[in-house]
Copies of this chain bind each other. A is one copy, B any other.
Amino acid sequence: MHSYDLAIKGGTVVTAADQYRAEIGVRNGKIVEISENVSGARQEIDATGLLVLPGGVDGHVHMSQPTDDGTIMADDFESGTRAAAAGGNTTVMPFALQIKGKSLRACVEDYHKEAEGNCYVDTSFHLIVSDPTPQVLGQELPALVKDGYTSFKVFMTYDDLVLSDAELLDVFQVAKEENALVMVHAEGHDAIKFMTRKLEAAGKTAPFYHGQSHSRVAEREATHRAVSHAELVDVPIVIVHVSGRDAMEQVQWARKRGLKVYAETCPQYITLVEDDMKGLNMDFEGAKYVCSPPPRDLDSQAAIWEGIRDGTFDIFSSDHCPFRYQGSGGTGKDNPKARTSFKWVPNGIPGVETRLPIFFSEGVTKGRISIQKFVDLTSTRPARLYGMYPQKGTIAIGSDADFALWDPGMQKTITQDILHHGSDYTPYEGFKVTGWPVKTVLRGKVIADDGRIVGEKGYGAYMSRGFSDAF
């Protein structure tokens, strides 16, 4: 008789506070022992020389999201969670998007259908509120929060998603009453459209000009506006995908005033720059880097690192939003509308699989942050912020046995051919990293092993969540 289903032996356990040599015993998918020596397990993993990290929790991914313009998101739940698993993640949080005019509950249910039976890692959904009718505000949202959908996202731009200030305030008010956490895509819609018209009028239609249309000013202004609305309503919010110094300073200023404003940043803002959207020669290759907010410049990257170090940023997510560059049904190079203007290039890049290695390598390996900080921003804090802690996000007795076994010295070059996502390219092609997740363990089962997916499709489960610790 085995005391344990699994033992992780010989490794170094890392949490958001600590790092120490220990072995881990797992039973029924839970961590039940951490000690000098664990024996009596049915399965043993030799983690000698490896770091045993909590499995990555990616708080911001888009998968199987419907679009209204014929483009197709490159990842469904199957490919998206496969990529996540390969990248050291055990939990991802996709968005259930309300289609305008439709019941939000119905949209959520459709989304569950997409996910069910298809996932390699655990999931839990944020809601996107695009049409805050009295029915949605007064009945659907409160009921959905009670059912464990405890976070919503709202958009301050995109024609089909943008909410007016009045609508934002209404959603914030519901969030306050229900203890739900609102995530805000903060870019000013009218400012973007104003710049877009100006650029188009000047014949500036290449993908590169996406960056100028989604200006820092527009991001900063919307951030200030969102913060102000949250102050008025007295409700915590998360400013997602902060791209640089301007918006970041608004977050810092808000906190200094005692407001509960949380912030997220992403790999693209520490690795890419606006000029990547130039492609080779202002050509369409630049479309591979189009996302919103767009990458800025080296000073913005430095600012983001400052914010990561000084605690401005709570979580580091991928904002995985994958499209294919080529092919019919694809959305990039062969999309005739996109070639007429940057404004038709789908906004989003793939990243769920590369988030952890890039951040580890640029952060921990290069000495910018401690490994505790890495674990905190990529696993512990997202789990806490979105109401999944301590089930997810740490290595502790009673928690899910989710691990990323990490080889801190392994050198890899990121290329499309080693990745598992549905996109046909990666914006990080050729990017060299040191440090790599060599095994991913979800609730005691190895789901990815040295780049091979060994988990079972459908083993990934859906989680209802509790309230955020943001309150």
Give the interface of A toward B (CB within 8 A): 13, 15-22, 25, 32-36, 164-166, 168-170, 173, 188-191, 193-195, 215, 217-218, 220-221, 224-225, 228-229, 231-232, 255-256, 258, 306, 310-311, 372, 376, 380, 390, 394, 396-399
Report the bound CA distance from A399 to B17 in whole Å: 14
Q: Is there an interface contact between B221 and A193, defined as CB atoms closer than 8 Å?
A: no
- Report B-chain residues with C-beta under 8 Å of the C-beta of A169: 190-191, 194
Report the bound CA distance from A169 to B229 in whole Å: 22
For the complex with contacts A18-B394, A21-B398, A221-B229, 13 further pairs of A-B residues with Cβ separation under 8 Å are A13-B397, A15-B18, A16-B16, A17-B376, A18-B396, A164-B190, A165-B191, A169-B194, A191-B232, A194-B232, A217-B228, A217-B231, A221-B228
- Report B-chain residues with C-beta under 8 Å of the C-beta of A190: 164-166, 168-169
CB distance from A167 to the nearest CB of B (A): 8
Q: Is there an interface contact between A310 and B255, defined as CB atoms closer than 8 Å?
A: yes
Number of copies of this chain that the complex holds: 4
Q: Which 6 pairs across A and B sit closest by C-beta, in order of nearness?
A: A17-B17, A165-B190, A221-B228, A16-B17, A33-B35, A22-B397
- Report B-chain residues with C-beta under 8 Å of the C-beta of A21: 397-398
Report the bound CA distance from A39 to B20 in whole Å: 23
Q: Is there an interface contact between A232 and B255, defined as CB atoms closer than 8 Å?
A: no
Closest B-chain residue to A397, C-beta based? B22
Q: Is there an interface contact between A32 and B25, defined as CB atoms closer than 8 Å?
A: no
Q: Which of A33, A193, A311 has the most CB of B within 10 A?
A: A33
Report the bound CA distance from A130 to B359 in whole Å: 45
Q: Quick one: given A217-B232, A232-B215, are A22 and B398 in contact (CB under 8 Å)?
A: yes
Q: Is there an interface contact between A399 and B20, defined as CB atoms closer than 8 Å?
A: yes
22 A-B contacts, Cβ less than 8 Å apart?
A: A15-B15, A16-B17, A16-B18, A17-B17, A17-B376, A19-B390, A20-B399, A33-B36, A35-B35, A36-B397, A165-B188, A169-B190, A169-B191, A169-B194, A191-B229, A194-B232, A217-B228, A220-B228, A221-B225, A255-B310, A258-B306, A310-B311
